C-alpha cells in the first residue's frame, strides 16, 4: 500500500502513510469513531446492569 508508483523514498514529497490517496484514511477514521461509540454503549449497559444490583 505504498502511496507512490515507484517503491522508493526518493520520490516521496508529502503524505507517506498507508492508504494515502485512497479511501482507507476515511474508512479507518469511521471505524475508529464507531469503536469509541460502541465501547461507550457497551460500557454504559454493563455498568447500569451492575449498579442496579445495589
Partner 1 sequence: MESQIAELTAQVAALQSSAGVTNTGFAEVFYYLSIPLMIIIHAGFLAYEMGASRAKNVLSSGTKNLLAFAFMIPTFYFFGWWVYWGFPTGLTFSEGPNGISGAAYANAIAWGWGESAQYMGPNVADQASGVFFGAFALFAATTASIMSGSVIERIQTVGFVILAVILGSFAWVVAAAWGWHADGWLVTQFGVHDFGAAGLVHAVAGFFALGVLINLGPRIGKFNADGTANHIAGHNLPLTVIGLMFIIVGFWGFLMACVILPGEAWSWYGHMPSTIYGTPITFSALAFNILMAIAGGIIGAWVMTKDPFWMMSGALAGIISTASGLDLYYPALTFIIAFSAGVILKYCATWLERRGIDDAVGAVTVHGTIGVYGVVLLGIFGSGFPALGGDAGVPTITLYGQIVGAIVFVLLGFVPGYIASYILNMFGMLRVPAGAEEAGMDTVKVPAQGYPEGIAQSAPPAE
Give me the residues that bind partner 1 (CB under 8 A), please: 1-2, 6-10, 12, 16-20, 24-25, 28-29, 31-32, 35-36, 39, 42-43, 46
Q: What is the DSSP string of 13-35?
A: -S--STTTTSSHHHHHHHHHHHH
Kindly state the smallest distance separating residue 14's Cβ from partner 1, in Å. Answer: 11
Alpha-carbon distance 5 to 12, whole Å?
Answer: 10
Kindly state the smallest distance separating residue 46's Cβ from partner 1, in Å. Answer: 8
Nearer to partner 1 among residue 17 and residue 54 (C-beta) = 17
Grid coordinates representing 38 are: 460502541
Amino acid at each position: 500500500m505504498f502511496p507512490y508508483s515507484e517503491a522508493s523514498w526518493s520520490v516521496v514529497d508529502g503524505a507517506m502513510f498507508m492508504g494515502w490517496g485512497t479511501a482507507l484514511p476515511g474508512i479507518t477514521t469511521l471505524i475508529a469513531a464507531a469503536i469509541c461509540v460502541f465501547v461507550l454503549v457497551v460500557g454504559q449497559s454493563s455498568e447500569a446492569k451492575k449498579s442496579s444490583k445495589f
